[in-house]
Structures are given as C-alpha cells and as structure tokens.
Structure 1
Amino acid sequence: MGVQLPRWVWVGAVTLACIAGMVNVIGYLGFEHQAVSHLTGTTSLLGAALAGGDWRAVRHLWAILIAFSLGAMVSGLIIQDSTLRLGRRYGVALAVEALLLAASVPLFMRQELNGALLAAMACGLQNAMVTTYSGAIVRTTHLSGMFTDLGIGLGHALRGMPLPVRRLMLSALIISGFLAGGILGAWLFRALHYRALLIPSALTGLTGIGYVLYRHWRLSPPYRQPGGQADVQEPPEPH
C-alpha cells in the first residue's frame, strides 16, 4: 500500500516548489549568478574555489551554505518536528519566509551579498518545513530526490512490482511546479528585475494565509476527531 497524502499536502508542495523555482532562477540571473535553493552545486563550487585559492568566492559560498542551514534551523525552532501534519505552525514559518524574501529585494538592488543570503535562508526554511509525510520524502527547493523517486518507481514497474502511483505523481507535480516557477521567474526578472522577488514573497504569504484558514476549517467540527487531530487521510493508494 502506498503513501496517503491529503489534498493540502499536494497543493502546498506544488505551490512551494513553484515559489522555490522562481526564487532560484531570480538569484541565478542576478549579479552574482548564484543559485540559492539547493546546496549540491554550491558545495561543488566551494570545493573548486578552495582548490583554486579564490578566497572571495570561498567566503561567498560558505555564507550561502550557512544561510540555508540557518533557515532550516529557524524552521526547526518554529515547527519542532520533521513529520508533515495538519495543525503545526506552518503559517508562521511561511510568514517568516515571505518577510525574508521581501527584505532581500532592496539588498539585491544594491548588489549586496546579504540579499542572496536572505533568499537562501528563506529557501532553507521552506525546505525544512516540508520534509516527510507518511514516509514519503517531500522536498520543494531541489529536485534530485524527486527524479530519484521517479526512476526507482519506473524500475520497480519494469520488474512487475507494485507502482507507488501517489508518490510518483507527487514527484512529477513538484518537478513541474519547480520548472514552471523557473520559467515564470525568468519572465518576471526581465520585466521587474529584483522586484520580481516580491511576487514569490506575496505568494508565500498567501499560501500561509490559505493554510491557516484551511487548518481552522479542518480542525473544526465535524472534522475534528477526539484528541484534537483532524481526519486528513485519503483513501488507500490504488495499484
């Protein structure tokens, strides 16, 4: 039997992937050409900078890595768990992310590194906020895990094993959302330059408001169950 994902997880994950795609491409198209939503390439660049003795790049790349990690730390302080569950303080985390993105705009416009650091911190916060649900890894700021899940699922299908349809659908939707965000972010950057970051900032804030309203509705009678938990499970995944 596959993982069961309530609708708010689907909608939230795809929306946040789109936002991350926008932020990442705007950071990449900016004055430092620095991706901010994932750290694999950044760590590789750091290794190359250390080997080449480019100490300016070393300081810059280390700062991006630390900022992303600090964002994840803030998420841990706010949410205090790595398992996705309705009722947690995701609205607060999304509000902080929206403020970080908005605050990065004037710094980017002055071509200050701190703009990229705030954007990286926002991405770290978002990525740590959306982590796991019922054993499924949910990442919204980078796609390596999503493509890996797709490959594993297709390999299992070729061997005649049960296909985890919901997990593969979620991976495909997150990939599509991130790609759509990248396309939209590139268009917005050409039109608005760094002010384009105000769009994902606003979307993040609206997502937070939407989550709070949905949470209030789902945790109210008749959905509320004894013990204060909402019934958010969907029917079992078909094979």
Structure 2
Amino acid sequence: MITKLPRWVEIGGFWLACIAGSTNTIGLLGFKHQAVSHLTGTSTLLGVAIAELSFTEMAHLLLVILSFVLGAAFAGALVGGVALQLGRRYGVALILESLLLLWAMFVLLGDSTLGHYLASAACGLQNGMVSTYSGAIVRTTHVSGLFTDLGTMFGAWIRGHAFNSRQAVLYMLLILGFVTGCGMGALLFQRVQFYAMLFPACVAAVLAVIYWFFWLQSRKEKT
C-alpha cells in the first residue's frame, strides 16, 4: 500500500500518460480511427475482420497487436523488472520510445502502414516499462483499469475499509495526464497532421534526460 508517494513518480506518471494519450489520439485521427496505446479496440476490430473474412485487415490488425507485444517484451528484457525502482534502464527505454515515435512520424508522412506498427511498438514498450509501484498497478497507456481501481477503492471504503488517498492521487494524475495528452494530440493533429508525433517523441526524450539527471543526483547523495 502506498503511504508516501515520491514526487518523481507522480510527475513521471503524468507525463508518461500524456505521451500515450497524445499518441493514441493521433492514431484515432490519422490511422483509420484506430487506437494504438491499448489493444482492446484493436482486438475488437480484429474480431470484426475475422467475421467479415477481411484477410488484409486481419493481417494488419494482427501486426499491430504483435508490435505492441514485441515492444512490451523488449521493455521486459531491457528493464529487467515489473516493479518501479530508481536505477533501472528507464532512460534507455524512453529514448528508444522517442526514436520509435519519430520513425513512425516519418513513415506515416509517407502514407506507410509501417507507422502504425512502430507507434504500437512504442506504446507497448512504455506499457512494459512499469507495472507496479508499492503494490499499486501503474498503467500509463490506457485508463479503463485506472477507473476500475478507483471504483473498487471507493467501494471498499464504503464497506468500511481504509481509503488509500495517496494511491487514489496517483491514479487520478495518470488519468489527468492521459486526457491532457489526448487534448494536445488532437490540437496538434488538426494543425500539423502527423508532425504532431513530435510532441510525444520530444516529451519521452526529455523524460529520459530528467530521469538520468535525477538518478545521478540520488547516487551522489548516497556517496
């Protein structure tokens, strides 16, 4: 149970969710109304494609799903743990995510579906970086689970259990970050189309630099 939430977890979680929200909105507006930061919608479309025997669409959606899984798998191999812990290779993962988003932007500008797979892989990489913090499930690429967790927390509180306000704050910040990112992605896509991918790509790169700086500072304080 979270009793004390470090500021870097709050800020980092907010901006990671912002990255995912903006990337997903750009996907919805520009990838044939297809989400990329989570697989619920993609799996639904896959079921529809199977029912309609649309083999081209089936292959495309399967590749989007596979790209997400491969991104998450790479994160698991790179970071080496599901629990959030300062010192792991989150900075490297964020730089790779930034590069994937930039690559996606350039190929999407050339009207290539490869951009869908690269964007999905970037979201899978981010989602695979962090799964838990102090017993709380941390989701930064989708919000259904966050709303579910908040609902069950309130339900348990009604039954007389203690309410973990710090955990609730984390969940609400992640939701706020995702929605903020969606708004930014929509505004930017209306103005610059797929160049809007520069926003989440740059945020990921900046987060990597900040993480490395914060990690180095914490090491100096311990010595």
The TM tier, using the shorter chain, reads: over 0.9
Paired residue total? 223
Give the C-alpha shift of residue 57 in structure 1: 1.3
Give the C-alpha shift of residue 8 in structure 1: 1.2
Matched letter for residue 83 of structure 2: T
Correspondence for 1:215: 215
Correspondence for 1:87: 87
Residue 25 of structure 2 contacts residue 182 of structure 2 at CA under 8 Å; is this kept in 1? Answer: yes
Correspondence for 1:196: 196
Correspondence for 1:57: 57
TM-score scaled to structure 1, two decimals? 0.90
Give the C-alpha shift of residue 74 in structure 1: 1.3
The DSSP-based 3-state class of the residue aligned with 2:83 is coil
In structure 1, C-alpha distance between the alignment counterparts of 2:6 and 2:127, rounded to whole Å? 19
* Structure 2 residue ranges without an equivalent (≥5): none
In structure 2, C-alpha distance between the alignment counterparts of 1:157 and 1:135, rounded to whole Å? 18
TM-score scaled to structure 2, two decimals? 0.97
**Which one has a bigger Cα radius of gyration?**
1
Correspondence for 2:125: 125
Matches within 5 A, 1:14-33: 14-33=14-33
Residue 91 of structure 2 contacts residue 211 of structure 2 at CA under 8 Å; is this kept in 1? Answer: yes
Give the C-alpha shift of residue 31 in structure 1: 4.2
Instruction: Tell me which protein shows more helix as a share of its residues.
Output: 2
In structure 2, C-alpha distance between the alignment counterparts of 1:136 and 1:211, rounded to whole Å? 21
Alignment RMSD (CA, Å): 1.2
In structure 1, C-alpha distance between the alignment counterparts of 2:106 and 2:181, rounded to whole Å? 22
* Structure 1 residue ranges without an equivalent (≥5): 226-239
Residue 2 of structure 2 contacts residue 134 of structure 2 at CA under 8 Å; is this kept in 1? Answer: no
Matches within 5 A, 1:1-239: 2-221=2-221, 224=222
Give the C-alpha shift of residue 202 in structure 1: 0.6
Give the C-alpha shift of residue 2 in structure 1: 3.7
Q: Deviations over 1:107-150 (max 9, x none)?
A: 11122110011000000000010211111100100111100111
